[in-house]
């Protein structure tokens, strides 16, 4: 298959990445080369093969539903790009 | 202190001197700090706080002097890949996105190192978010290979490999998602181990591809590797994917001859694209094993040719999910200006534009490429064709290993298809870069352990690595089998001619 610049622009929005027009052209070419390369994954017959998501068997691990220690608010906010005394500050979400 | 002490020094030798009172940890650390200063041009460390490491060393010296029990790495510096969280220390993943990030907690491996008495000796350079095979994709610029400063140290743990190769620390930790420990170990002439998936806790390892990532050691020799691997291994309730398996005392059994020496030679590891000097060194290693009484048997891993394409769907898919958290809201870089700049952006919500602008400024090209590839592979209409198919191929790759390990104990081959390449040589061609890990990637997809040991030098003096792979949780036998080669050769004693 072939990815158009419109396809890549749509993926960029889904991935939350702003691309300049030049970057859009460059990534379109590179992603097409990679998608062409990975097309060989269609070669083997996998009709009876179960997908393998982990190299070792992984099962759900449940813990007791008991509240444990949490990060103090100051530590949780310490790496915030913008904050006030008790919250993360972001652009208004509601109009 | 005699500066020559640090050159060629192994952790095992330094521990013997520390325990005998011939040197203090503070003296050692001062020596390593001086050497780090003198070799700054290699760009190995992205953060190194002399006062902090000296304080750690003095604390260990005081304990030792007081006759208190000290841990198995007491007083020995360990350099840490900048992908591992160290409480209140800069942890940037080689990225602008995290340039001001100071984690509020230690990774489990860091807790274990502290308990063992190790000195946390700085953070090492790496490919941004561990994506790359050359340590050129770092916001801090590339690390130089100590053997040839015009060449890359491999990646993504190139800083940690170069730290040991250049004797800037006797031990270091890296992470391996598709070969990022073994490949830089090979091209820097040191030992590197990727443990079985689940053997070492990933808690506090900044995630790239969670089903593939694994933390492991870089060392000069296998005795040091056994020592460090034992310290960092074990089940951790904070990592649901860590496995409850007993951790053998690798050091205690390292010099025992393996119960059997049945070595598989995968014909797919000797195909097109393999450098002739690398092939020659690996075939010489096979002769060394035969002389040691090993039985060599050709094995086939027919689906390994799909390893790189499967990896470049699975890893980006997981990376696109893991890196979604870096959006400039609760941590990480936030753009100052997110007003519409390009056609179509005016229709987007300001919060979305803020995230897009922040991620565009914070991430480098390789990270963006992989996030977009993963987002595409997981998107509606394509997930079955790409992601699910890659997971099915992953099963075929795992089945190949399971079948091969019915007849052999380990599988042998080259670690990297070529010696260290020149800086900038592959940066414009992502596919060429991706093929640097062609022999290492399948072990990550299958979850099995692998290691690289030095096995030769090219005519121009560049290191060559021998890769050994073993069944899941067979690290003890893997180390012992590698030790057979190490005892018969002296490649692990070769050092770059740094001045």
Output the DSSP codes for A65-82: S-------HHHHHTT-SS
Which tens digits make up the pLDDT trace of A19-65?
Answer: 999 999 999 999 999 999 999 999 999 999 999 998 887 777 788 89
Residues of B in contact with A79 (CB under 8 A): 100-102, 104, 330-332
Among residues B157, B160, B180, B233, the one annotated as catalytic is B180
Tokens (6 digits) for B284: 């010489």
Q: Which of A7, A15, A84, A87 to mutate to test the interface with B (most CBs of B within 10 A)?
A: A15
pLDDT of residue B54: 98
Give me the pLDDT at residue B84, please. Answer: 98
pLDDT of residue B2: 64
Q: State whether A46 and B392 contact (CB < 8 Å).
A: yes
Bridge-based pairing state of the strands B214-219 and B295-299: unpaired
Q: Which of residues 388-407 of B touch A (CB under 8 A)?
A: 388-396, 398
The pLDDT value given to residue A61: 76
The span from the CA of B296 to the CA of B304, in Å, is 20
Task: Identify the pLDDT of residue A81.
Answer: 96
Cβ contact B172:B79 at 8 Å: yes
Closest CA to B462 of B39, B149, B155: B149
Asked if A56 and B331 come within 8 Å (Cβ–Cβ), the reply is no
Question: Is there a catalytic annotation at residue B379?
Answer: no
Tell me if B306 and A44 make a contact (CB, 8 A cut-off). Answer: yes
Q: CA A49, CA A46: separation in Å to the nearest integer?
A: 5
pLDDT of residue B41: 98
Among B101, B207, B376, B449, which would you mutate to test the A interface (most chain A Cβ atoms within 10 Å of its Cβ)? B376
Q: Which residue, chain included where needed, has tokens 């394409």?
A: B309
* Distance (Å) from the alpha carbon of B98 to chain A's nearest alpha carbon: 9
Mean pLDDT of A8-21: 96
DSSP, collapsed to helix, strand or coil, labels residue B214 as strand
**Judging by beta carbons within 10 Å of its beta carbon (0-12, 13-18, 19+), is residue B230 exposed, middle or buried?**
buried
Looking at the partner chain, which of B352, B444, B472 has a beta carbon nearest the beta carbon of A16?
B352
Q: Which of residues 68-107 of B touch A (CB under 8 A)?
A: 100-102, 104
B277/A contact by beta carbon, under 8 A: no
- The reported pLDDT for the residue numbered B495 is 95
Rounded to an integer, what distance in angstroms lies between the CA atom of residue B174 and that of residue B157?
A: 5
Q: Which residues of B touch A8 (CB under 8 A)?
A: 372
Could B241 and A54 be called an inter-chain contact, meaning their C-beta atoms sit closer than 8 Å? yes
Q: Where are the alpha helices (DSSP H) in chain A?
A: 5-14, 21-38, 73-77
Q: Is B423 helix (H, G, I), strand (E, B) or coil?
A: coil
- For residue B212 the two structure tokens come to 């593939």
Inter-chain CB proximity B356 and A16 less than 8 Å: yes
Q: Are B425 and B419 in contact (CB under 8 A)?
A: no
- Report mean pLDDT in 10-residue bins for chain B, 499 residues: 75 96 97 97 98 98 96 98 97 97 97 98 98 97 98 97 98 98 98 98 98 98 98 95 95 95 96 95 98 98 96 97 96 95 91 97 97 95 94 98 98 98 92 90 98 98 98 98 98 92
Residue B392 to residue A34, Cβ atoms within 8 A: no
Please check whether residue B483 is in contact with residue B255, taking contact to mean a CB–CB distance below 8 angstroms: yes
pLDDT at B1: 64
Chain A residue with CA closest to B306: the answer is A41
Give the distance between the most distant pair of CA atoms in chain A: 58
C-alpha distance from A75 to closest chain B C-alpha (Å): 6
Please, are residues A52 and B395 in contact by the beta-carbon 8 Å criterion? yes
Residue from the list B241, B359, B392 with its beta carbon closest to the beta carbon of A49: B392
Distance CA B14, CA B22 (A): 9
ipTM comes to 0.95
Give chain B's radius of gyration (CA, Å): 22
């Amino acid at each position: 298959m072939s990815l158009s610049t419109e396809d890549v622009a749509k993926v960029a929005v889904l991935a939350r990445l702003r691309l300049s027009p030049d970057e859009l052209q460059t990534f379109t070419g590179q992603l097409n080369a990679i998608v062409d390369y990975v097309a060989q994954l269609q070669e083997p017959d996998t009709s009876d093969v179960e997908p393998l998501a982990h190299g070792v068997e992984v099962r759900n691990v449940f813990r007791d539903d008991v509240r444990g220690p949490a990060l103090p608010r100051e530590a949780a906010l310490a790496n915030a790009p913008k904050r006030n005394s008790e919250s993360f500050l972001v652009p208004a979400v509601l109009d | 202190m005699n500066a020559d002490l640090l050159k060629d020094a192994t952790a095992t030798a330094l521990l013997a001197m520390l325990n005998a009172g011939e040197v203090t940890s503070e003296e050692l650390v001062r020596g390593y700090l001086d050497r780090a200063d003198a070799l700054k041009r290699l760009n190995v460390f992205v953060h190194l706080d002399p006062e902090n490491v000296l304080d750690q060393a003095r604390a260990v010296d005081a304990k030792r002097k007081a006759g208190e029990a000290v841990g198995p790495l007491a007083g020995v510096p360990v350099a840490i890949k900048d992908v591992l969280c160290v409480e209140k220390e800069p942890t940037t993943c080689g990225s602008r996105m995290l340039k001001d990030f100071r984690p509020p907690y230690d990774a489990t491996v860091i807790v274990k190192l502290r308990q063992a008495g190790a000195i946390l000796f700085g953070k090492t350079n790496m490919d941004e978010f561990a994506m790359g095979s050359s340590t050129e994709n770092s916001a801090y610029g590339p690390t130089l290979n100590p053997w040839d400063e015009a060449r890359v140290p491999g990646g993504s743990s190139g800083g940690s490999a170069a730290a040991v190769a250049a004797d800037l620390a006797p031990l270091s930790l890296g992470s391996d998602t598709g070969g990022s420990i073994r490949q830089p170990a090979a091209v820097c002439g040191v030992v590197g181990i990727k443990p079985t998936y689940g053997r070492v806790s990933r808690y506090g390892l900044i995630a790239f591809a969670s089903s593939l990532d694994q933390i492991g050691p870089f060392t000069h020799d296998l005795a040091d590797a056994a020592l460090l691997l034992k310290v960092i291994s074990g089940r951790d309730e904070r990592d649901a994917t860590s496995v409850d398996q007993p951790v053998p005392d690798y050091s205690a059994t390292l010099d025992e001859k393996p119960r059997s020496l049945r070595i598989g030679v995968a014909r797919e590891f000797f195909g097109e694209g393999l450098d002739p000097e690398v092939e020659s060194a690996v075939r010489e290693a096979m002769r060394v094993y035969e002389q040691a009484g090993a039985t060599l048997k050709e094995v086939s891993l027919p689906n390994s040719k799909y390893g790189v394409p499967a990896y470049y769907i699975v890893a980006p898919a997981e990376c696109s999910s893991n890196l979604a958290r870096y959006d400039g809201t609760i941590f990480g870089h936030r753009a100052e200006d997110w007003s519409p700049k390009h056609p179509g952006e005016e229709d987007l919500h300001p919060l979305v534009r803020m995230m897009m602008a922040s991620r565009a400024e914070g991430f480098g090209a390789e990270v963006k490429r992989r996030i977009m590839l993963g987002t595409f592979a997981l998107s509606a209409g394509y997930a079955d064709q790409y992601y699910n198919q890659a997971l099915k191929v992953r099963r075929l790759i795992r089945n190949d290993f399971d079948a091969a390990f019915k007849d052999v104990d380990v599988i042998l081959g080259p670690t990297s298809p070529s010696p260290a390449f020149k800086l900038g040589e592959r940066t414009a061609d992502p596919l060429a870069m991706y093929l640097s890990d062609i022999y290492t990637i399948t072990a990550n997809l299958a979850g099995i352990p692998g290691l690289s040991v030095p096995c030769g030098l090219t005519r121009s003096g560049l290191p060559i690595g021998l890769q050994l792979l073993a069944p899941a949780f067979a690290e003890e036998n893997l180390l012992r089998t590698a030790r057979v080669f190490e005892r018969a050769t002296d490649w692990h004693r070769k050092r770059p001619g740094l001045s």
